[in-house]
């Protein structure tokens, strides 16, 4: 069945923008975690 | 014999005659000239506007066969645009050129990069309301990614007949970011918000984090939005090469030779899609208008999200940095720094804005990838 434009547009807005926000939020948390797991000082200490 | 000579000589003026018969071609030759003027005289994205302008003139010369079967630009188009190869090769170069350190130092700026993508989806809605077919509306909305290669990738795949208009809108408006954004930023923020000082303490990021970043983005992003994996993977491959530091020759080739050659071919091909009869239509003007609106909406939503963060953090975040959450890197960040300085000469917002801007670069790719996967999920594309 052909989807009407309103359903299509609203789905794109909700799933598309929502998906973008959630994905970037998740990546932001993962980067925060990576920063804590591998802090700069610790690595410099190892290298030193 | 005289007749044969006259007929032969007549062949030399056919082009000139047709020039005045096909007025659309003549107008487009002026448009091509205008693009060349913007690139050469006004330094407005010259790397793209010069080949685009030239390609536009070339395809509009009467009887030009450059875009016919086996024509020289058609051959390049089939090899690089039809296959979506060129935007992906450009992305390897962009990844190799971009330092994602500022966004890794302040991961919250990823969210500003997400807010800067609202324009894509709102413009898509507007395009649908104006009667554009679904995939055309998607390609028009993607101008709001403020990201030329992403716009070309999506449009060449799903609405190739709009490629010229979408690409020209994306690159032109990107270069107009310093003109488009400041009035919106000033209008949406209060005097107090504009003067908010954000202290910056350089927070270095470990090499391990910088190396894991492209891998994490590729794997996690790829699992969430597999339809956009080529976009994500190529930009991240370029960044991994840069951060690894062990493939300097490849990194150099990606950001110089490959990027330069592909930019030249890409520009020529885009220009060659601007043939008069196909380009001079009300639809093109509407697309240019919607593209402009898309970038305005990105800025509006970015600044509004910045205001939300200002409230949540008790006034610690200057809402102006929200406008940098788009992909025009590093231009949008510089605009924020400049506007911030206008209101408080001791306010150095550049590094914060760079974080949002790098977030916007990732954000635009993620938004396109998510969009394609949602479309696939709905069965609109395969």
Residue A48 pLDDT exceeds 50: no
* Predicted pLDDT of residue A42: 56
Contact B380 A3 (CB under 8 A): yes
Q: A34, A37, A42, A47: which to substitute to probe chain B, counting the most B Cβ within 10 Å?
A: A34
Residue B18 pLDDT exceeds 70: yes
Q: How far is CA B59 from the centre of its chain?
A: 23
Question: How far, in Å, CA of B313 to CA of B355, rounded?
Answer: 17
Residue B346 pLDDT exceeds 90: no
- What 3-state class would DSSP assign to B346? coil
User: Tens digits of per-residue pLDDT, B179-237?
Assistant: 999 999 999 999 999 999 998 777 889 999 999 999 999 999 999 999 999 999 999 99
Q: Does A26 lie at the interface with B, CB-CB under 8 angstroms?
A: yes
User: Measuring CA to CA, how many Å separate B242 from each of B28, B56, B210, B252, B365?
Assistant: 41, 35, 10, 9, 19
User: Tens digits of per-residue pLDDT, A7-37?
Assistant: 999 999 999 999 999 999 999 999 999 999 9
Q: How many contacts does A have with B, using Cβ atoms within 8 A?
A: 125
pLDDT band at A47 (very low <50, low <70, confident <90, very high): very low
Which whole number is the average pLDDT over B325-330?
89
Which whole number is the average pLDDT over B12-36?
87
Nearest C-alpha of chain A: how many angstroms from B178? 25
* Predicted pLDDT of residue A40: 86
Contact B371 A12 (CB under 8 A): yes
Nearest C-alpha of chain A: how many angstroms from B314? 21
Residue B17 pLDDT exceeds 90: no
User: Measuring CA to CA, how many Å separate B69 from each of B16, B73, B271, B281, B368?
Assistant: 23, 9, 17, 24, 31
- What 3-state class would DSSP assign to B231? helix
Contact A26 B220 (CB under 8 A): yes
Total residue length of chain A: 48
Contact A11 B374 (CB under 8 A): yes
* Predicted pLDDT of residue A1: 57
Question: How far, in Å, CA of A38 to CA of A28, rounded?
Answer: 15
Which whole number is the average pLDDT over B136-140?
96
Question: How far, in Å, CA of B220 to CA of B364, rounded?
Answer: 16
Which residues of chain A make contact with B137, given a CB cutoff of 8 A? Answer: 9
Nearest C-alpha of chain B: how many angstroms from A48? 14
Contact B111 A19 (CB under 8 A): no
pLDDT band at B28 (very low <50, low <70, confident <90, very high): very high
Which whole number is the average pLDDT over B274-288?
92
Q: Does A35 lie at the interface with B, CB-CB under 8 angstroms?
A: yes
- Residue in B with minimal Cα distance to A25: B111
Residues B141 and B120: beta-carbon distance below 8 Å: yes
Residues B228 and B157: beta-carbon distance below 8 Å: no
Contacts of A9 (CB under 8 A, 6+ apart): B124, B125, B128, B129, B137
User: Tens digits of per-residue pLDDT, B57-113?
Assistant: 999 999 899 999 999 999 999 999 989 899 999 999 999 999 999 899 989 889 999
The beta-carbon neighbor of B121 closest among A12, A23, A42 is A12
Residue B129 pLDDT exceeds 70: yes
Residue A44 pLDDT exceeds 60: no
Residues B220 and B231: beta-carbon distance below 8 Å: no
Question: How much of chain A is in helix, strand and coil states, percent to nearest 5?
Answer: 85, 0, 15
Which residues of chain A make contact with B121, given a CB cutoff of 8 A? Answer: 12-13, 16-17
Residues B295 and B143: beta-carbon distance below 8 Å: yes
The beta-carbon neighbor of B374 closest among A16, A25, A27 is A16
User: Percentage of residues in chain B with pLDDT exceeding 90?
Assistant: 77
The predicted model scores a pTM of 0.90
Which residues of chain B make contact with A12, given a CB cutoff of 8 A? Answer: 121, 124-125, 138, 371, 374-375
Residue A46 pLDDT exceeds 60: no
Contact B110 A25 (CB under 8 A): yes
Residue B173 pLDDT exceeds 90: no
Question: How far, in Å, CA of B178 to CA of B215, rounded?
Answer: 33
- Residue in B with minimal Cα distance to A29: B107
Which whole number is the average pLDDT over B21-46?
91
* Predicted pLDDT of residue B337: 94
The beta-carbon neighbor of B370 closest among A19, A34, A40 is A19
Angle made by CA atoms B217, B214, B156, in degrees to the nearest 5: 70
Contact A5 B128 (CB under 8 A): yes
The beta-carbon neighbor of B108 closest among A28, A30, A34 is A28
Average pLDDT, whole number, for chain B?
92
């Amino acid at each position: 069945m052909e989807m009407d434009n309103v359903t299509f547009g609203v789905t794109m807005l909700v799933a598309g923008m929502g998906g973008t926000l959630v994905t970037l939020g998740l990546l932001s948390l993962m980067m925060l975690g990576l920063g804590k797991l591998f802090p700069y000082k610790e690595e410099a200490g190892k290298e030193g | 014999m005289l007749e044969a000579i006259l007929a032969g000589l007549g062949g030399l003026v056919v082009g000139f005659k047709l020039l005045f018969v096909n007025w659309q071609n003549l107008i487009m030759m002026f448009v091509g000239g205008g693009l060349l003027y913007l690139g050469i005289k006004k330094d407005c994205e010259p790397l793209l506007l010069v080949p685009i302008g030239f390609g536009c003139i070339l395809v509009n010369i009467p009887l030009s066969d450059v875009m016919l079967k086996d024509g020289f630009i058609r051959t390049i188009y089939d090899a690089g645009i039809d296959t979506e190869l060129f935007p992906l090769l450009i992305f390897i170069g962009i990844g190799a050129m971009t330092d994602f350190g500022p966004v890794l130092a302040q991961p919250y700026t990823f969210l500003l990069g997400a807010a800067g993508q609202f324009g894509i989806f709102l413009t898509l809605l507007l395009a649908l309301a104006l009667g554009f077919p679904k995939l055309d509306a998607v390609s028009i909305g993607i101008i709001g990614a403020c990201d030329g290669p992403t716009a070309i990738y999506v449009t060449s795949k799903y609405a190739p007949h709009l490629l010229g208009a979408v690409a020209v809108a994306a690159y032109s408006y990107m270069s107009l970011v310093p003109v488009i954004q400041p009035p919106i930023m000033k209008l949406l923020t209060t005097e107090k918000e504009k003067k908010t000082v954000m202290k910056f303490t350089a927070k270095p990021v470990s090499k391990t984090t910088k190396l894991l970043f492209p891998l994490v983005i590729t794997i996690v992003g790829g699992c969430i939005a597999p339809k956009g994996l080529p976009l994500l993977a190529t930009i991240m491959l370029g960044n991994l090469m840069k951060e690894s530091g062990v493939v300097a020759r490849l990194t150099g080739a990606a950001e110089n030779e490959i990027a330069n050659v592909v930019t030249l071919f890409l520009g020529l091909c885009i220009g060659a899609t601007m043939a008069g009869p196909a380009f001079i239509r009300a639809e093109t003007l509407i697309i240019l208008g919607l593209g402009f609106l898309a970038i305005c909406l990105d800025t509006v939503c970015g600044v509004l999200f910045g205001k939300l963060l200002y409230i949540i953090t008790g006034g610690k975040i200057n809402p102006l940095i929200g406008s940098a959450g788009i992909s025009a890197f590093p231009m949008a960040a510089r605009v924020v720094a400049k506007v911030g300085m206008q209101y408080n000469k001791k306010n150095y917002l550049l590094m914060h804005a760079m974080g949002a801007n790098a977030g916007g670069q990732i954000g635009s790719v993620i938004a396109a990838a998510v969009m394609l996967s949602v479309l696939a999920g709905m069965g609109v594309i395969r």
